[in-house]
Amino acid sequence: MDINNKVVIITGATSGIGAACARTFGKAGARVWITGRSQIKLDETLLMLQREGITCGGVVCDAADSEQNEQMVKEVCQKFGGVDVLINNAGISMRALFRDLNLSVFHQVMDINFWGTVYATKFCLEEIIKNKGAIVGVSSINGFRGTPARTAYTASKYAMNGFLEALRTEVMKLGVHVLVVCPGFTASNIRNKALTADGTPQKESPRDEEQMMTADEVAQALLKALLKRKRDLVLTRQGKLASFLNKWIPGIMDQVVYNHMAKEKDSPFN
């Protein structure tokens, strides 16, 4: 697959992995269209991309809003003439025990992570089929292995993985490539913005962000996997090990994951 001059939509691209993907794909020659929920952050990111000589555009779009997604796709088609690649990156996390969790938080996480992927994919699909392009889902190791205190996040990523796996078999004879990317722990602001039991952001990450994979490393690996038309991409040694062991010793993994998460700063188990 040649990414040069291709139109790439990246949702949730004003920070973290999304912004890194915008830079990485833009430097590889793609025309990049980004979305985000903040006009200020969107403008800042577009300015950064333009300063690096990247052809880009973008629009404020709430991933959880079907109508905004439909309008977003119409705008990129008007501006850039179509869609070749969609990277479903918009996402939010949470951290609270399910028994304490307000169900509105569960809905919010599912609306952004799962339904956001469904909406963007639905409205891009005909263009991507026409151009024999690609659909990418930025999922998580949580899409293979659930973790405590992250029930809504886990559910959203399992749902995303299942949706994209089913879609892959629908479009594989039409020349469309579907890639599911599952990063391990990645340094970004997703944990700072993770929702607590009542829906307020936790603000401080419970993990050592400096020891994690960087967003730029994820973006580079994602681009390489897309160019090689890989089916799945699981990142970090820890992520690969968790995915493998969960298939063979799930009962033992329950205890391993519990012990690991219980050691987090301000763990809800303490």
Mean pLDDT in residue range 75-86: 97
Which tens digit of pLDDT belongs to each residue from 207-254?
A: 555 667 899 999 999 999 999 999 999 988 888 888 888 889 989 988
Tokens 């291709």 belong to residue = 6
pLDDT band at 43 (very low <50, low <70, confident <90, very high): very high
Active site residues: 153
CB 89 within 8 A of CB 138: yes
Which tens digit of pLDDT belongs to each residue from 126-180?
A: 999 999 999 999 999 999 999 999 999 999 999 999 999 999 999 999 999 999 9
Listed range (31-40, 72-81, 110-119, 193-202) with the worst mean pLDDT:
193-202
Report how far residue 28's alpha carbon sits from residue 163's, in angstroms, rounded to the nearest whole number. 29
Mean pLDDT in residue range 35-39: 96
DSSP the chain: ---TT-EEEESS-SSHHHHHHHHHHHHTT-EEEEEES-HHHHHHHHHHHHHTT--EEEEE--TT-HHHHHHHHHHHHHHHS--SEEEE-----B-S-GGG--HHHHHHHHIIIIIHHHHHHHHHHHHHHHTT-EEEEE--GGGTS--TT-HHHHHHHHHHHHHHHHHHHHHGGGT-EEEEEE--SEESSTTTS-B-TTS-B--S-SS-GGGSEEHHHHHHHHHHHHHTT-SEEE-SHHHHHHHHHHHH-HHHHHHHHHHHHHTSTT-TT-
CA dihedral 156, 160, 163, 165 (to 10 degrees): -140
Q: Strand pairing partners for 86?
A: 9, 135
Given the DSSP bridges, would you call strands 85-88 and 7-10 parallel, antiparallel or unpaired? parallel
Question: What was the pLDDT predicted at 209?
Answer: 56
> Can you list the domains of the chain with their CATH numbers?
7-262 (3.40.50.720)
What is the value of pTM for the model shown? 0.92
